[in-house]
Structure 1
Amino acid sequence: MRRRLYLGLGIVAFVVGSVGIALPLLPTVPFYILAAFCFGKGSPALERRLLDHPTAGPHIRAWRERGAISRRGKIAALAMLAASAAIGLAVLPMPWGLLPGAVAIVTGGWIATRP
């Protein structure tokens, strides 16, 4: 039962990550990292396929081995967080307009401290 649950969660994470390829504000690699974790518990064959993927595999392995995010990935994530905070400030009424900025500060700080 637990194995099927992890397999199902892995499939959902993979699908959401795949949608992120087409939608610029939805991240891909974090969902693929989650999918690899779930597949490791539910389907080692699918985990291996994800780790061997030429594009996503190196990012997943870097995260597993060193907790690392590539410089390019950090720049893209921080730029999107800043853009989201600015858009939120411009279009949301106060005090809701401050919420995207607060989220950007917390998550951006975490991302910036990764190796």
Structure 2
Amino acid sequence: MKDMSDEPTAVVGKLLEIMDRDGWGVIVATDYDGSRFAYTVGLTLKQLPELCISCADAEQGQSVLNALAARQIDDGRFAPGQVTQVEGRSVRLEPNTDLGPMILVRKMFGGNSTAPAALAVTFLD
């Protein structure tokens, strides 16, 4: 049996390296029901909402979130309900109140009383 005790530490260490270099990182995960999703970690430090997306294709989810995170840093905060284009597709950004699956966001930035802001990205086409 493989010892996995250092794996979470390695993931967080790599994430912190990426956040230091780029300003944010993207985590791709599988929810309890088997659905895949991705979310940003680190935008909170820039007073911007974290982003999340349900995605069948992990690379696409990561690519979309990286593009939107960079745009948000360059152009400012997205408004809830905003529709924009990313990678040739229309998306809507809606408030996400369920940070449960965004484990690293909750652990790094959210206490019991204050939750970081997040926007869910949904493809419109």
TM-score (norm: length of structure 1): 0.30
Structure with the bigger percentage of strand? 2
- Which structure has the bigger radius of gyration? 1
Which structure has more relative contact order (CA 8 Å, sep 6+)? It is 2
